[in-house]
A = this chain, B = another copy of it.
Amino acid sequence: MRLDRVGGANYLCCMAATNEDTIASRISRILADRIITGQLEPGAKLRQDHIAEEFGASHVPVREAFRRLEAQGLAVSEPRRGVRVASFDLKEVREVAQMRASLEVLALRHAAPHLTASILDRAEEATVAGDNSSDVRSWEEANRRFHRLLLAPCDMPRLLAAIDDLHAVSARFLFSAWRSDWEVRTDHDHRAILGFLRQGKVDNALAVLERHVQWIGQKPVRSASGSLREAFAIVG
């Protein structure tokens, strides 16, 4: 029995408010975390019996979890052939980056009038936390906190949910490239955005944000199989 491994779903802290009770949502959350962090590699088969056994549950809640992952774009399901972890390529990374840019700009434009000094201070703390983080996971968490803090006051729940989903996919790319080795970097864009917002120069902040989100880092990375390939990730 390896039930003790089950507890660790650290990525998604604040999900869609609904369902926190049911087994299906638990499974879906944990599987999403494994896919995002790269524990489950792209293309890996998700066999419902095995997963059901691991969680000490039956296949039905597992299937429901699959449908959720499918809708999030983290898994793909072929009708009677089962479910696999969704794969991705550079084209999709770019696509997600541009969607994020569009939607985050929209969100920030609506959030800007409601931003308070306190929020901006907390966003700055998140930036500092990101600069000081020693691994990808904590950096990603800080980065997501920064964006969420600035965008949440737009008060558009569906928009925020869509952005969250895109963030998850971005994070997946990020983990895939920088899982093991991680170099500390200082985030000048975040500070620039905060600076403009403090001066009330919303349009400037929007422009920086739009560029920032679309910035895609590249680096060579040694894959699990040992071969060297080019990796990429949205870094904003």
Contact = CB atoms under 8 A, between A and B. Distances in A.
17 contacts: A18-B70, A18-B76, A18-B77, A19-B79, A60-B60, A64-B64, A64-B67, A67-B67, A71-B72, A73-B158, A92-B158, A95-B159, A99-B106, A99-B158, A99-B159, A102-B102, A162-B162
A126 interface: no
A103 interface: yes
A77 to B, nearest CB: 6
Contact of A98 (B64, B71, B78, B106): B106
Interface of A: 18-22, 24, 60, 63-64, 67-68, 70-73, 76-80, 92, 95-96, 98-99, 102-103, 105-106, 156-159, 162
Contacts of A18: 70, 76-79
Contact of A158 (B70, B95, B103): B95
A96 B77 CA distance: 28
A78 B78 CA distance: 29
Contacts of A63: 60, 64
Nearest to A76: B18
Nearest to A101: B106
Contacts of A77: 18-19
Contacts of A157: 95
A70 B17 CA distance: 12
Contacts of A76: 18
A193 to B, nearest CB: 19
Nearest to A19: B79
A105 B60 CA distance: 40
Given A71-B72, A102-B103, A103-B103, 5 more contacts: A19-B79, A92-B158, A98-B106, A99-B159, A162-B162
Contacts of A21: 79-80
Contacts of A60: 60, 63
A98 B44 CA distance: 37
